[in-house]
Amino acid sequence: MAAISYGSLVKEIQSGKFRPVYYLMGEETYYTDQLTDLLSTSILTESEREFNQLTIYGQDTTIDAIIANARRFPMMANHVVLIIKEAQNIKEINKLTLYLEKPLESTILVFSHKNGSLNKKTSQKLITQIEARGGVVFESKLLDESKDGAKLYSFISSYLQSRNLRIEDKAISMLIEAVGGSLSRLASEMDKLVINSGETNGLITPEMVEMFTGISKEYNLNELQNALANKNSKKVYRIVKFMEENPKNYPLQRILPTLFMYYSNLMLAYYAPRRDVKGLEDFFHSTYRVMDYVNGLRNYSAFKVLDIIDAFRRYDGMGKGVGTTANMTKEGFLREFIYFILH
C-alpha cells in the first residue's frame, strides 16, 4: 500500500486534481472525516451536486448497488460522486474489484471506513487494484500520547494557528494528557477553547485548559515529568500523593509508560551531537518538552539513566504484584520507585 500524507492529499484536492477512488480508513477518524468533507464540497458545484452527488451509508446499501450507481453517467457535470460513509459495514467489499476492472472515468468513489481498516490479507487484491487505477488507500492510525507527543504538539499548534490563536507549551501538555492521542477528541476540545477565546488576546493558557477540560495544571503526569527532570523532590512527592489519592485517573499502567518514555528519550539525548536546547530540538526534530531533557541531562548521569531504565521491568512487575513483599501496597511500590529514581 503506497503511503501518502494527509497534507499531500489536501493539496491535490484543493488544486482540482481528483482520484477515481478514495478509500479512507483507520482507527483515527479525524483525517477520514476531514478528507470526506473536503471531497464532498470540492469536486462538484452546489448546483451540480443535486443530480450527480450521492451520499449513502454502508449499512443501508450493498456492493452491487454501489457498483450500479458508479456506472451512471453525469448530468450536466463532469463527474458522478458517490460518498459511502460507514464503509466498514459493507458486505463483500472485495467485489468492488469487478467494477475496477472497467471503471468509468467520470465517476469518483469516496469510501469512509471508520474505526478500522481493510484486512491487508483478504483485501490485498482490492487495495492493489484501487492504486493501479490511480486511486488512493489512505490509512490514519491512532497516535499514542506517550510515544507521539511531538506529533500531537504539532497538530494542536497548527490547528489553533489556523484559527489565529497561539497556545502556551504547558497548555499543550495539559491538553494532550487530558484528551490523549485521539485527534478527533482533541479537535473537539480545542473547538471549545476557540469558542471561549474571545478575551484572551489570541493566547490559550493553562488556566483555560484547566477550566474547560477539568485537568489540574499542577497535578498531572507532565508536571511529574518536569519535577523529576529538575529533581524537585518536594514537588515530585506532592504530585505522587495526589495520584495515589486518585487511582482511577492515575493508575500505575498510565504512570509507568509515561516515565519510561521520558527516561528512554533522555538516554537517547546523550547521543545528541549537541546537548543544549537547539541541539536537542534538532536531534528530536521537535521543540516539545525539550527543556525536560536539557534539565534531565544536567541532573542524571548516563549510568543512572541506564539503571532507571533497567529498573522499570522490575518495578513494572512489582506494580502488578510480582516480587512485592506481603505488606507492600501498590502505592508503596510507586513511592519506592520514585525514591530510586531521585537517588
Q: Rounded to an integer, what distance in angstroms lies between the CA atom of residue 314 and that of residue 297? A: 24
Residue 82 grid cell: 458517490
Residue 325 has pLDDT above 50, yes or no: no
Q: Rounded to an integer, what distance in angstroms lies between the CA atom of residue 336 and that of residue 13? A: 55
| Domain at 256, CATH number | 1.20.272
How does strand 107-114 pair with strand 21-26? parallel
Closest CA to 19 of 48, 33, 39: 39
> Is 258 within the bounds of a domain?
yes
> Is 1 within the bounds of a domain?
no
Q: pLDDT tier at 200 (50, 70, 90 boundaries)?
A: low
How does strand 107-114 pair with strand 80-85? parallel
- How many distinct structural domains can be found in the chain? 3
| Domain at 10, CATH number | 3.40.50.300
Q: Note whether 317 and 294 are same-domain residues.
A: yes
Q: Note whether 229 and 258 are same-domain residues.
A: yes
Q: Note whether 204 and 274 are same-domain residues.
A: no
For Cα atoms 81, 85, 87, give the angle at the middle one, nearest 5 degrees: 110
Q: Rounded to an integer, what distance in angstroms lies between the CA atom of residue 272 and that of residue 173? A: 24
Q: Note whether 106 and 62 are same-domain residues.
A: yes
> Is 284 within the bounds of a domain?
yes
> Is 144 within the bounds of a domain?
no
28-51: average pLDDT: 94
- Give the pLDDT confidence of 232-274 residue by residue, as tens digits: 999 999 999 888 888 888 888 888 888 999 999 999 999 999 9
| Domain at 169, CATH number | 1.10.8.60
Query: pTM here?
Result: 0.74
96-112: average pLDDT: 95
Q: Note whether 175 and 286 are same-domain residues.
A: no
Q: Note whether 233 and 209 are same-domain residues.
A: no
Residue 111 grid cell: 469510501
Q: Note whether 89 and 126 are same-domain residues.
A: yes
- Give the pLDDT confidence of 109-156 residue by residue, as tens digits: 999 999 899 998 999 999 999 999 999 999 998 888 777 888 899 999
| pLDDT at residue 326, as a whole number | 46
> Is 194 within the bounds of a domain?
yes
Residue 243 grid cell: 495520584
Q: Note whether 188 and 258 are same-domain residues.
A: no
> What is the Cβ-side half-sphere exposure of residue 112, based on CA atoms within 13 angstroms?
22
Mean of the per-residue pLDDT values for the chain?
89
| pLDDT at residue 319, as a whole number | 56
164 Cβ neighbours under 8 A, 6+ residues apart: 202
Q: Tell me which residue range forms the domain holding 244.
A: 221-342
| pLDDT at residue 317, as a whole number | 63
Q: Note whether 336 and 232 are same-domain residues.
A: yes
* Higher-confidence position of 2 and 76: 76
> Is 43 within the bounds of a domain?
yes
203 beta partners: 166
- Give the pLDDT confidence of 201-213 residue by residue, as tens digits: 788 998 888 887 7
150-172: average pLDDT: 91
Residue 326 grid cell: 506481603
Of the ranges 35-44, 233-242, 334-343, which is most confident? 35-44
SS3 content of the chain, % helix, strand, coil (to 5): 55, 10, 35
Task: Give the domain-ending residue among 213, 243, 263.
Answer: 213
Q: Note whether 242 and 329 are same-domain residues.
A: yes
Residue 198 has pLDDT above 80, yes or no: no
**Cβ distance 89 to 128 under 8 Å?**
no
Residue 165 grid cell: 490563536
